[in-house]
């Protein structure tokens, strides 16, 4: 019997494992290997020649390659931090609205919030580049109603990156709201009843029951939000092309430009490896932080 199921396990796993192995795991290993090679993306892998850490020296060096990469890294860090800082509190606030409310409006609000997550980025880019238009854009027209002067949005290096953050928060916050709601449903109602009997205020209930018990959900949301944020590509490729003056040149866009468009496969791979390492460090740090609080 056992033998038979062992064979079945092999058959059941073969398609998924083969596909993921060839199209995700193998390329990941190749990326690491290529980061130590001098290699043009237009040539076969066999033409790569080992150059040690030269690619890494170059992307952190003083030349234009290094300046562009360090700029993209900085932009990505800022972009990711801003996204997480905006998305997490909003998702909890919206989650509480949907979950606490006893009337039908909660479900409707969840539907509206989540529907933006289904919208393809090309539509988001087409719509938001118009909304943000400095002269005839609806956003500046509405600000005008409140006596606020027109904002440059995407056309100024000072505000372009944050404008793209807003656009992404608008699109993704519904997804994180659903995660928050799933976390809220796990909290036992009896805890709130007991706290109320002890005279805890609404804010105290939130501070000492909801927030601590949401920590695992928030950790998961933070990890997903970070991984989503470093992937930002379409709004940059479609609207700003990394500009103005490099202010929205983020890593995914920059790595594709170097590794695919300029065919500098070795350099691009070294950048991709740095991205992967940074992600691992950040995610491990987050988990360590969460576990330390668990012990307290």
Partner 1 sequence: MSAGSSSRLPRNCPSRREALLATLMLAVAVTSAFPLVWMVLSSLKTPAESMQVPPVWIPRAPSLDAYEKVSGVVNVGRSMWNSLVIASITTAGILVTSMMAGYAFAKYHFPGRSLLFSVLIATMFLPPIVTLIPLYRLVGSIGLNASLAGIIVPNLANAFGIFLMRQFISGVPDDLIDAARMDGASELLILYKIVAPSVAPAIAALALFAFVYHWNSYLWPLTVLQGNADAYPIVISLSRLLSYNRGAVNTGLVMAGATLAVLPPLILFVLLQRFFVDSIVGSAIKG
Range 88-107, binding partner 1 (CB under 8 A): 94, 97, 99-103, 105-106
| Contacting residue, 53, 81, 85, 122, with partner 1 by CB under 8 A | 122
Q: Does 248 bind partner 1 (CB under 8 A)?
A: no
Q: Does 134 bind partner 1 (CB under 8 A)?
A: no
Q: Does 174 bind partner 1 (CB under 8 A)?
A: yes
Task: Give least dist CB 227 to partner 1, A.
Answer: 6
Task: Give least dist CB 215 to partner 1, A.
Answer: 16
The DSSP string of 212-246 is HHTHHHHHHHHHHHHHHHHT--HHIIIIITT-STT
By three-state DSSP, how is residue 49 classified? strand
Rounded distance, CA 231 to CA 208, Å? 34
Q: Taking the C-alpha atoms of 81, 182, 203 and 83 in order, what is their torsion angle to the nearest 10 degrees?
A: 10
Q: Does 86 bind partner 1 (CB under 8 A)?
A: no
Q: Which is nearer to partner 1, 26 or 289 (CB)?
A: 26
Of residues 185 through 244, those in contact with partner 1 by CB under 8 A are 185-190, 192-193, 196, 202, 205, 223, 227, 230-231, 233-234, 237-239
Measured in whole angstroms, the distance separating CA 189 from the mean position of its chain's CA atoms is 32
String marking each residue 51-70 x if it binds partner 1 according to CB under 8 A: --------------------
Rounded distance, CA 238 to CA 231, Å? 14
Burial of 44-75, coded b for 16+ CB within 10 Å and e otherwise, reads eeeebeeeeebbbebbeeeeebeebbebbbeb
String marking each residue 144-163 x if it binds partner 1 according to CB under 8 A: --------------------
Strand stretches in the chain, DSSP E: 37-38, 49-50
Rounded distance, CA 269 to CA 255, Å? 8
Task: Give least dist CB 54 to partner 1, A.
Answer: 17
Q: Which is nearer to partner 1, 159 or 205 (CB)?
A: 205
Q: Which is nearer to partner 1, 43 or 291 (CB)?
A: 43
| Contacting residue, 165, 180, 252, 257, with partner 1 by CB under 8 A | 252
Task: Give least dist CB 6 to partner 1, A.
Answer: 6
| Contacting residue, 170, 246, 282, 290, with partner 1 by CB under 8 A | 170
Task: Give least dist CB 233 to partner 1, A.
Answer: 5
Q: Does 284 bind partner 1 (CB under 8 A)?
A: no
Rounded distance, CA 228 to CA 88, Å? 13
Rounded distance, CA 70 to CA 200, Å? 49
- CA nearest neighbour of 266 among 22, 25, 20, 47: 47
Q: Which is nearer to partner 1, 60 or 114 (CB)?
A: 114
């Amino acid at each position: 019997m056992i033998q038979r199921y062992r064979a079945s396990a092999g058959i059941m796993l073969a398609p998924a494992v083969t596909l993921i192995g060839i199209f995700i795991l193998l390329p990941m290993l190749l990326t690491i290997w290529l980061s130590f090679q001098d290699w043009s993306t237009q040539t076969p892998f066999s033409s790569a020649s080992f150059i040690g850490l030269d690619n890494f020296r170059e992307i952190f060096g003083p030349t234009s390659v290094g300046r562009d990469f360090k700029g993209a890294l900085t932009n990505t860090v800022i972009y990711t931090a801003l996204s997480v800082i905006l998305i997490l509190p909003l998702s909890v606030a919206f989650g509480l609205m949907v979950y606490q409310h006893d009337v039908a409006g909660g479900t409707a609000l969840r539907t509206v919030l989540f529907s933006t997550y289904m919208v393809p980025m090309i539509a988001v880019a087409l719509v938001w580049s118009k909304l943000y238009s400095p002269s005839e854009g609806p956003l500046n027209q509405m600000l005008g109603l409140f006596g606020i002067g027109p904002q440059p949005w995407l056309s100024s290096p000072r505000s372009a990156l944050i404008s793209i953050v807003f656009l992404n928060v608008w699109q993704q916050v519904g997804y994180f709201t659903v995660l928050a709601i799933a976390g809220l449903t796990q909290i036992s109602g009896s805890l709130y009843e007991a706290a109320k009997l002890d005279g805890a205020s609404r804010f105290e209930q939130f501070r000492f029951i909801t927030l601590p018990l949401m920590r695992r959900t928030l950790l998961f949301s933070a990890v997903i939000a970070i991984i989503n944020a470093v992937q930002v590509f379409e709004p940059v490729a479609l609207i700003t092309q990394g500009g103005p003056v490099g202010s929205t040149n983020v890593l995914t866009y920059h790595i594709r430009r170097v590794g695919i468009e300029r065919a500098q496969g070795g350099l691009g791979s070294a950048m991709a490896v740095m991205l992967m390492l940074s992600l691992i460090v950040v995610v491990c740090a987050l988990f360590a932080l969460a576990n330390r609080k668990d012990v307290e």
